[in-house]
Every structure is written in C-alpha cells, then in structure tokens.
Structure 1
C-alpha cells in the first residue's frame, strides 16, 4: 500500500498523496519524496484506488468522490501509524493536499487518535479554485483544521495565484510559501531566470522547515 523513501536519521514521517491526474510515480512525487527524505523526513507514497485501476487497466478515469478518497487516505495513515511512532504529517500534491486538509477538518475522522495527533499538513499546489473560476473556492473547511497547514504554491498557479490567494485573508493556521514564477507544479518559465530544480529544492526546504518546526 505504501512505498517509502526513508531518511538515514528521520525526525518525522509524511504520508504524501498524489494529484488527480498523475499517480505516485510522477516526476514531481518522486523528486519531492527524495528531496524530503534528504531532510530527515520519511516519505510514504501511495496510489488511491482509482489510480491503481488506471495503472492496471491503462485507461484514464476520473478520481473517485471525496468521501471514498478520504476513506482510503485514512486506511493508509492507519497503516503508517502502526509501522512507526515518528511524528506524523500528511499532505499531497494538488488534490492530495486538499484531501489531507479535509481529513484534518472532518469531525468523523478526528475521533481517531492517529488522525487527531497528526502534527501538520503540507500541500504543494493547493487547488484553491478551479482554473478561471476564482469564485468557486475550496477553503470553507480551513477554519476547522485541527493541525496547521503549510501551502507551497507557485506564484502563477492557475488554481490560485499569489495575487488571488493573498486577497482571501486566510486564517492564521494556514502558512503560505510562494515559489517564484511557479505554475501548478511549481515550474517557472525559462525567461524568469529560475529553474525547475531550484524551485523544487526551495519547495522541499519550505516544507521541511515547517515540519521541523511542528514536531
């Protein structure tokens, strides 16, 4: 169920969920897991059930409903909590980060001690709204978060640009980290003077700093 990228001297563990269109084997997921493992974080990757079917059948399909995604995420976290007593963080890329934040604000899941004791959430490229539809916000649950949320976002992300997100006046338990000229995968344009490698290293640094502060 879980593929681990382990640190030699871990201080914490992160259960890291993929986005809607690409599974745990995507370049972003693999690279970020390796970078974070180099910063004393054990990173556990997994595929949601719909993505497992995509890999098995070779046919595209949409993600399952949020309730099914949350239920499977819960199973993965439960397994990880049995395998290790390291401080636990959860998070993900895009949809995965959103699901992590929804899990930590859901009263039904917060009755479980291994969910309630999660130290924090890390979301890379949080989908604040669908592209071109800034009025359809996906932040209503933020005030109910049981743990602090670290958002690592590209300045140009069409799911929430720096300009749009800063105007929202989000609650204090949401920490925003902006990646220069980054898109939804934190990748900058060539003309910006930044590189993909630089941005992904910066993103990993911001996420690791957040986790180290919240042990």
Structure 2
C-alpha cells in the first residue's frame, strides 16, 4: 500500500525529521500539524507518514487496530531507508509512533530521536513498563512529556533507569497530548510551540555535533 507523505519545510534543509503518528490519530491530526509546522519553521524538513493500519482507515474507512510490532518496525525501516538517501535523518513520533522509533533507532545511522508523550506504560498499568530498551539506548534522544501524563508522569519517570543519551523536557501540567488544565495558566497551543522549539533546538545541536 503506497501513500503520499505530508512534508513541511524546505527541500534544501540540512536535516529531515521523519515523524510517525500515535495509535489513535492520523498523521494530519491537529497535534501533528502544529508540531510539524513548528519544527519546520526552524529550517528542518518534517516528513510525516502513516502505518498500514492507519492508511487502511483513511482509504477504506476500516477502523482497524494498530499493526503488530514487526509490521510497524518494518514500516519505519522503509521510511528511514527512503529518506536517508537525501541526507541526515532524525526520527520520532507521538506516543506509539515515538516508541516504535525508539526500538529501531540504534539500528540505523540516526542524528537524533524525538519522542512526544512517550508511553512508558499502558493506561492504568504502571507496573508494565516499556523501558527495557531505554536503559542502554545510544541514539541521542529527546522525550517531551507532560508532567501529568497518565502514561508516565514526572514523579514516575524520575524513578526509571534511563540511558544517559536521553534528555527529558517537561511541559508543566500537560497531559499525554500536552494539554494543560485551564487553571494552570498554560495553553495547549503554547505547549506545542515549546515542544517544537525544544525539539528543533535539540536536533540542530545534534547535527552540529556530527559535523
């Protein structure tokens, strides 16, 4: 099944960020649109794609669940191979998309990894951690996380053994999609802009470090 990716940013960009969606929303959700546009405003080209199950939802209207992990990882590998021919590549994604990217990052020559709302554990199951591979991850990684994310809040994550290659940027009072409560004084749009700014800065520094 072929698809047309969504592309933000210039073709002559020095770096390309391949971005995958989360489990429930497509590559053109408001979250993905805002984040991609924000990163692209810093001169990085952002390329969004969809996993097979989400493509099927779009073309056939079939609300299928996410594909098996092997299928998701193969989709990631195909995207990386295709885009790397054009220059340095970073990868990342929202929730599940970012987690799948983290599972494959060390197998490719990746400039950096961006995880937006990493699902450290399933909802309501903090004992079922998805962190085993994060203890020795070598790819420079930025996780942007809301402090009250129900899939890994600030207090929980502080106790996890994570690789020194991982940096975490916290969004105050943000939930899994970075949305804060009104009483916090923060806004969802503001948090998305912060996320994009922090991610772009992280990636440009990694690119500079690589020479």
Into which bin does the TM-score normalised by the smaller protein fall? over 0.9
Partner SS, residue 133 of structure 1 = coil
Residues 36 and 43 of structure 1 are in contact (CA less than 8 Å); yes or no, is this contact kept in structure 2?
Answer: yes
1:162-193 alpha-carbon deviations (Å, 9 max, x no partner): 11001214221111100111011101111100
Whether the 8 Å CA contact 1:187–1:195 is kept in 2: the answer is: yes
2:105, 2:203 → 1: CA distance? 16
Decide whether the 8 Å contact of 1:15 with 1:43 is kept in 2.
yes
Q: What does residue 30 of structure 1 align with? A: 33
Counterparts in 2 of 1:172 and 1:144: CA distance versus 1, 3 Å: closer
Question: How many residues matched?
Answer: 204
Deviates more, 1:1-10 or 1:26-35: 1-10
Partner residue in 1 for 2:103 = 102
State how far apart, in whole Å, the 2-side matches of 1:73 and 1:212 are: 22
Residues 1:208 and 2:209 are matched in the alignment:
no
Are 1:120 and 2:123 an aligned pair?
A: no
Q: Which runs of 5+ in 2 are unaligned?
A: none
| C-alpha distance after superposition, 1:82-137 (max 9, x if no partner) | 2x21x2100000000000000124xxxx2xxxx2x211100000000011111111
TM-score, normalising length: structure 2: 0.92
Q: Give structure 1 stretches of 5+ with no counterpart.
A: none
Distance 1:25 1:208 in 2: 19
The offset of 1:9, in angstroms, is 6.3
* Match 1:147 to one of 139, 142, 163: 139
Note the aligned Cα RMSD (angstroms).
Answer: 1.3
